[in-house]
Amino acid sequence: GAVVSQHPSWVICKSGTSVKIECRSLDFQATTMFWYRQFPKQSLMLMATSNEGSKATYEQGVEKDKFLINHASLTLSTLTVTSAHPEDSSFYICSASGQHEQFFGPGTRLTVL
């Protein structure tokens, strides 16, 4: 299957700083990517749909000014957590749509101190 990578795989930052997470589709072009968040012992929650060349579509309850999404190319989407707080600590997973399935990245664990 297709490969989706995320960078970094884990990050620790101080409260108030911003953190950027990259999601790349390595062997195919993805016009649409998705960002999920998973709190400990919980399920994945869809945060937003990232569309190449246009604005992201956010799920209800997700602050678009806090979670900035940029999908500047067909192989790269970035999620920036701005002014991070400890409650933003979570596992962030991206996925990219292929023709017949979605391919998930390995996830990025964010810890905000």
- The whole-angstrom separation of Cα 51 and Cα 63 is 17
Residue 38 vs residues 1, 5, 33, 54, 110: alpha-carbon distances, Å: 23, 17, 17, 25, 11
The interface region with other proteins, picked from 22-30, 42-50, 71-79, 80-88 by CB under 8 A, is 42-50
Q: Candidates 3, 12, 46, 72: give the one binding other proteins (CB under 8 A).
A: 46
Residue 52 CB-density burial (10 A; 0-12 exposed, 13-18 middle, 19+ buried): middle
The interface region with other proteins, picked from 14-22, 69-77, 78-86, 88-96 by CB under 8 A, is 88-96
Which of 51, 82 has the CB closer to other proteins?
A: 51
Total number of residues that touch other proteins (CB under 8 A): 26
Quote the least distance from Cβ 16 to other proteins, whole Å: 26
* Number of residues that make up the chain: 113
